[in-house]
Structure 1
Amino acid sequence: MKIRIRIETEFGWGEKRSHDLGTVERDSVEVSEEDFGLSLAEGKSLLKEIQRVLLEDQVEEISEVSRVCQFCGSYLPVHDRRERSIDTLFGRITVAVPRVRMCMCGLPGHLEIKAAYSPLTRVLRNRATPVTVP
């Protein structure tokens, strides 16, 4: 038996994306008790992959929304992308985070400044997801 594990993301602007996380295979003929359910290692690996996909897609959506100037509505260009490590409950995950050029609409005389910022800094100041204990 093969069990395929897939996540589907639907972004706020309507785009849909599928992520294949992996396949779990089990033998039903020569079965043992170790073959039932997920092993701890398989579970940890799958949870880390789910976390990675979730973070990557959240970073993309937060970045896209942040590229629209609040004042003039123009679509701001990406200055560059940098890798950022985020500590999560399932391990450290590295994602590519764009830095967005600041809009010049609010500057007197529209000086040509190449300032850029990361939209992610307003959400993850400590580069870690919160740890909640029930």
Structure 2
Amino acid sequence: MASCSMSMIKYLLFAFNFLFVISGIGLIVAGALSLKNITKYADFMDDKNTTSPTMLITVGSIVFVLAFLGCCGAWKDSYWMLMTFAVLLAIIFALELAAGIAAYVYRKDVGKSFTEGMEDDLKQNETNSGWDKIQTDV
């Protein structure tokens, strides 16, 4: 019976790590798409607003690599690989939680920064090609 339950735990750990691999890929794709969309309007924004997509790509890459290592640790029954995986996964969870809280707290600052950048740019350039692009894209 113990053999069956250990085998079940092994496959469940592999399955959950596979879900983390998929979520890591999702974070990378979401960050890349955000970065692509933000660069269209970079003329209107501060440089600090492009760090969020970069952070998503970085965290997604770390989650992907870590989950892949967790899959390998589960498949090969490596105790040290699984313990390292568990500690690093707890650290990443804490970082993602902190990033989500920071994004929620500073959500109004991003909108304010975007509005101020647009107003400043409009005052400086009355016939700015960036404004033509934003009007046709929206």
Highest RCO, 1 vs 2 (Cα 8 Å, sep ≥ 6) = 2
Q: TM-score, normalised by structure 1?
A: 0.32
Q: More helix by proportion, 1 or 2? A: 2
Larger fraction in strand: 1
TM-score normalised according to structure 2 size: 0.31
